[in-house]
Amino acid sequence: MKYNFDEVVNRRGTYSIKWDGGEVIKKFGLTERYDEETIPLFTADMDLPVPQPLIDALHKTVDHRIFGYSIFPDEYFEAIQHWFKKRHDWEIKKEEIIYSPGTVHALNIAVRAFTNPGEGVIIQRPVYPPFTAAIKANKRELLNNALLCDEEGYYQIDFTDFEEKAKDENTKMFILCNPHNPTGRIFTKEELQKLSDICAANHVLIVADEIHGDLIRQNQTFIPIAKVAENTDHIITFTAINKTFNLAGLHCTNVIITNSKLRKAFTSVMGNHLPSPFTVSALVSVYHDGEEWLEQLKEYIDGTMEWVVQFLAEKMPRVKVRIPEGTYIMWMDFSGYGLTPEDVHDRIYNKANVILEDGKMFGEEGLNYQRICIPSPRPMIQEAFERMAREFENVR
């Protein structure tokens, strides 16, 4: 079927953190203003309807009328295996799959299970803030292998610095984000192979957050790091339906661990988590019948990104931005205006009444940046950018 992603669905009154969580958002310090006219584009959460087969599957679950404790049936694991074999040519064994109620939860479990207080964990800033939080909250040492950005806004890995940090005997873990949030890089086979080889040689465990792996541009290819590694004993991978199919509210991350000793250590720290029957129904549905919707979604997001780039070139040419290789995130550099980050924030959040995410949240490398999540109806995105353009048109 053909999906209409331009349809604006009113999410107010549905317990949405974006649309109903104004007081919480202000309390977190994300914005000072939140009212009925606010356009929130700060979180990786789509304002787009999910696939129809998923809706049908959830209705069937509701119609059963009983929602007791649930198990993971064989079809749950088979659906995961089917999806990753078909989409990424990645063979996953049933016993390698561990359910977690969330990716951030799984990340904290991994840090606690495989490192000790004071030991080093490598991340690549600017990067998703919970990476930093997981390291600091668990009293590990943060090792920043900052990505290198060229004049065109393209980010690459500083391998010299990475290898130096990995060789330190105190370094025990590397948290990889691929596709990278917020820069949008999809790391190449050669880059992934090199990262894997360095970590294997230095006994550094790789925790790979690959939850945006299905949200890539139509001309791009994503490769799971476990596919390129000669041996996967040092690799843990996070996958999820949450981002791909807009199902964050159903809490479904799957952790892939080929090393049986690591699996045992991970589950012993995390404990057992039973699924919701809605989670099981959702995963089986989208991994078997969600491809048609996903391909239409990717085409729509690609079109929105092209519109954003053209609009900024015409109305806000001092903003540097490029279409990312993956994710539905755009990483915008406002340094060309010569304004302080505080002034940029005030113009966007308080005057334009659009909520993004200040780049400083992703590390000092993001100080002059703003992150925007664009999987919303295009008319909503267009209105947000029109508002922002009006607030910057008088900057000299």
Last residue of some domain: 286, 312, 344?
286
Same domain, 255 and 369: no
Tokens standing for residue 250 = 């159903």
Residue with tokens 């590990």: 140
Supply the range of the domain harboring residue 330: 17-51+291-391
Instruction: Note whether 298 and 272 are same-domain residues.
Output: no
Are residue 239 and residue 334 in the same domain, yes or no? no
Are 77 and 123 members of one domain? Answer: yes
Measure the CA–CA gap between 134 and 127, rounded to whole angstroms.
12
Q: 142 with 174: CB under 8 angstroms?
A: no
Let me know whether 280 and 298 are in one domain. no
- What CA–CA distance (Å, rounded) separates 35 from 37? 5
- With respect to residue 206, please indicate whether it lies within any of the assigned structural domains: yes
According to DSSP, the residues that pair with 331 across neighbouring strands are 371
256 three-state secondary structure: strand
On the CB side of 250, how many CA atoms lie within 13 Å of its CA? 25
Residues 185, 244: one domain? yes
Whats the size of the chain, residue-wise?
Answer: 396
215: its two tokens: 């949200």
Neighbour order of strands in the sheet with 329-333: 329-333, 369-373, 357-358
Same domain, 165 and 121: yes
Kindly give the parts of the chain with pLDDT less than 50: none
* C-alpha R_g of the chain: 21
CATH of the domain at 377: 3.90.1150.10
* Distance from C-alpha of 349 to C-alpha of 340, rounded to nearest angstrom: 14
Residue 73 carries which DSSP code? -
Q: What is the CATH number of the domain that holds 83?
A: 3.40.640.10
Count of domains observed in the chain: 2
> CA-to-CA distance for 7 and 48, rounded, in angstroms?
8
User: Do 184 and 331 have their domain in common?
Assistant: no
Give the residue from 286, 307, 338 where a domain finishes. Answer: 286
Other beta carbons within 10 angstroms of residue 346's beta carbon come to: 16
In a domain, 183, yes or no: yes
pLDDT for residue 268: 97
Residue 11 covered by a domain: no
296 and 279: one domain?
A: no
The answer to whether position 178 is within a domain reads yes
Q: Can you tell me which residue has the tokens 């505080």? A: 342
Q: What is the pLDDT of residue 396?
A: 79
DSSP conformation class of 85: H
Distance between CA atoms of residues 25 and 14, nearest Å: 16
